[in-house]
Structure 1
Amino acid sequence: MWGKVAGVIILIIIAGGLFVPVGSITQSDSSTSIAVTYGETTYNNQNYKEIVDEYFEYNGNVKLNNANQTIITASDVNKISGDISNRTYNSNQILSCAMVDLNSNSDISVDVDTSKITTVTENMYKTALESAGITKGHVIVTSPTTATGESALSGVMKSYETATGTEIPDELKDAANNEIYTESQIVNNTNASADDIADLVSEAKEEVSKQNTTDSQTIITIINNIASNNNINISDNDANNLADSISQSQSVQDQASEYQQQISEYVDSNGAQSLFAQIWDMIQDFLNGNSSSNSNSTS
């Protein structure tokens, strides 16, 4: 059996593009780069929490045994929503949960449980996070019951802070949350889908960045041109609000670039360690599987 085990270990190492002495592999805790934030309503309900944990583990292909955990409270959300939407939430209304996995140095990917998150889409989260300088990691958003997902962005950003140990500047948080809220309002006010609006915002931000402008009237013109080209009917009020949001994002791009660099440095410095941890987990799973099959076999 051990001959087969050794062969599997060698194959795993070669598949990973590395050759290292087997004896030098030590188990490292890759889950330190995994952070989960729970809405307080979900966290305080054991059944809800189990539903969310199972979803994260299955869809993220991770184990949460030692993942960093943080609770997002109504107070946390209200600190942001109060300035943006003037909405306030009760402690029994914070359901959305988020997981961030930084065990990969690939570009950011966002997966949203569309069976539960009803308003904010993957593209909306992604463009808002990019406004905050977040371009790395795997983000998963879900909820035990239906929720808009608007409050989940706070959880996603908190997960990044927890995973990296680096706080996101408040100006970046405000810009990202304002962007999510503004997009959600425009979706409600137009004939366009959430992804159509997210694409509009992404294209507008790209053009604004090219022109390096924060002038509201210039940005409004850009927004209206893009909306017209994509057959999106957007009101003057929505265009103005969106222009303000994009202008806010543009004004904090220096800070966003700095935070992006910090995320990249963290991911790059932990990438090799994470790969070793994944290899070790594969070996452990194989060994445990063999041990289990042997103990159940009869002579």
Structure 2
Amino acid sequence: MKKIMITAFSLALLAFPSMGLADAAPGDKIITLGKNLTEAQKDSMLSEMGADDSAQVIEVTNEEEHKYLGNYIPKAQIGTRAISSSAITIEESGAGLEVNTKNVNWVTDEMYLNALMTAGVKDASIQVSAPFEVSGTAALTGLLKAYEVSSDEAIPEDVKQVANEELVKTAELGDKVGQENASALMAKIKEDIAKNGVPETDAEFRELIETSANDLGITLSEEEINSLVALFNKMKDVNIDWNQVGQQLDQAKDKISKFIDSEEGQNFLDQLKEFFIALWDAIIAIFSNKDNA
């Protein structure tokens, strides 16, 4: 099981205005179950996610998966059964997002975080699991569905579509340039838009994307550039509050700075330093042994 807190790049990928969890209170839990689980598997998932009498449980269907991901992921990859399940527990304001995953082999923790932040979800603990290894797409669909239930406010359909497309395109780009590089590129582009305004033409978007990629040492193909131009044009059409995006980026930087300055952050850096010293000593020892052989 993996557990990660939001990183600077993950925080930077917030692309849409936040929709507050108006009707949810800290401690409230919403659980989504894949509709094609057996009764025994459903009971196992509920137990694993700590469901009690107050937990709200909803089902996610394979049809819903195809509705929101079918334009961006091959049908065979989505599959024909909704198996993966999830839970959202609302936390105190300012707690941030935290994700735990188990038996998910395609949708990464970062992808879940990106999709949730794109939809405006914040301050929640997320669990994603399945009784055996699955792609995890049902849980992704379910988490957005759970958010709508918890907030009693529908996420606009065009926002859902753009959020899912961003999620998939970032992940696919990450397969070629690295997940961290892909996330950094998206963050850098958005930061520029927040500071300097939304480009008005395809040519201006292209220039921004190419400049951002060059600054990060990332080489993009013509196809990848065109794909990102199309994506950001769609973002422009759904009227993103870019001022809020800029604020989210600034908050992300503040959070990382505070962590580095904290005792926990300093301990982490000390441990990292000791690791590399030990690694370097091991490398020297290997070559020394070769010289003495």
- TM-score, normalization: structure 2? 0.63
What is residue 18 of structure 1 aligned with on the other side?
none
1:36 to 23, 31, 35: 31
Separation in 2, partners of 1:236, 1:172: 26
2:107 aligned with 1:120, yes or no? yes
What is residue 284 of structure 1 aligned with on the other side?
none
CA distances 1:74-114 after superposition (whole Å, capped 9, x unpaired):
1111112233345264542x22222112242225413141x
Aligned amino acid, residue 75 of structure 1: E
Shift of 1:51: 4.2
Separation in 1, partners of 2:130, 2:239: 31
Question: Are residues 83 and 51 of structure 1, via their aligned partners in 2, closer, same or farther at CA, if it must alter by over 3 Å?
Answer: same
Contact kept in structure 2, 1:39 and 1:72, CA below 8 Å:
yes
What is residue 126 of structure 2 aligned with on the other side?
139
CA distances 1:23-69 after superposition (whole Å, capped 9, x unpaired):
xxxxxx9688321112223xx32343344334433xxxxx4432111
Aligned residues: 219
Separation in 2, partners of 1:124, 1:156: 12
Question: Are residues 172 and 64 of structure 1, via their aligned partners in 2, closer, same or farther at CA, if it must alter by over 3 Å?
Answer: farther
2:67 aligned with 1:79, yes or no? yes
Residues 50-89 of structure 1 mapped to structure 2, 5 A cutoff? 50-57=43-50, 63-85=51-73, 87=75, 89=78
1:204 to 182, 186, 189: 189
Greater gyration radius: 1
1:95 to 76, 83, 88: 83
2:38 aligned with 1:45, yes or no? yes
What is residue 182 of structure 1 aligned with on the other side?
169
Aligned amino acid, residue 32 of structure 2: T
Question: Are residues 217 and 123 of structure 1, via their aligned partners in 2, closer, same or farther at CA, if it must alter by over 3 Å?
Answer: farther
Secondary structure in 2 aligned to 1:106?
coil
Aligned amino acid, residue 220 of structure 1: R
Question: Are residues 81 and 30 of structure 1, via their aligned partners in 2, closer, same or farther at CA, if it must alter by over 3 Å?
Answer: closer
Give structure 2 stretches of 5+ with no counterpart. Answer: 1-23, 245-293
Separation in 1, partners of 2:95, 2:204: 30
Residues 1-299 of structure 1 mapped to structure 2, 5 A cutoff? 33-41=28-36, 44-57=37-50, 63-85=51-73, 87=75, 89-92=78-81, 94-113=82-101, 115-188=102-175, 190-192=176-178, 194-214=179-199, 215-254=201-240
Question: Are residues 133 and 112 of structure 1, via their aligned partners in 2, closer, same or farther at CA, if it must alter by over 3 Å?
Answer: same
Question: Are residues 85 and 47 of structure 1, via their aligned partners in 2, closer, same or farther at CA, if it must alter by over 3 Å?
Answer: same
Contact kept in structure 1, 2:162 and 2:231, CA below 8 Å:
yes
**What percentage of aligned pairs have identical amino acids?**
19
CA distances 1:100-140 after superposition (whole Å, capped 9, x unpaired):
12242225413141x52233333333333333333343333
Question: Are residues 249 and 196 of structure 1, via their aligned partners in 2, closer, same or farther at CA, if it must alter by over 3 Å?
Answer: same
User: What is the RMSD computed on CA atoms of the aligned residues?
Assistant: 3.1
Shift of 1:225: 3.0
- TM-score, normalization: structure 1? 0.62
Secondary structure in 2 aligned to 1:111?
strand
Contact kept in structure 2, 1:34 and 1:101, CA below 8 Å:
yes
Give structure 1 stretches of 5+ with no counterpart. Answer: 1-28, 58-62, 259-299
Question: Are residues 46 and 229 of structure 1, via their aligned partners in 2, closer, same or farther at CA, if it must alter by over 3 Å?
Answer: farther
Aligned amino acid, residue 38 of structure 2: N
Separation in 1, partners of 2:104, 2:242: 27
Question: Are residues 148 and 134 of structure 1, via their aligned partners in 2, closer, same or farther at CA, if it must alter by over 3 Å?
Answer: same
Aligned amino acid, residue 232 of structure 1: I
Secondary structure in 2 aligned to 1:124?
helix
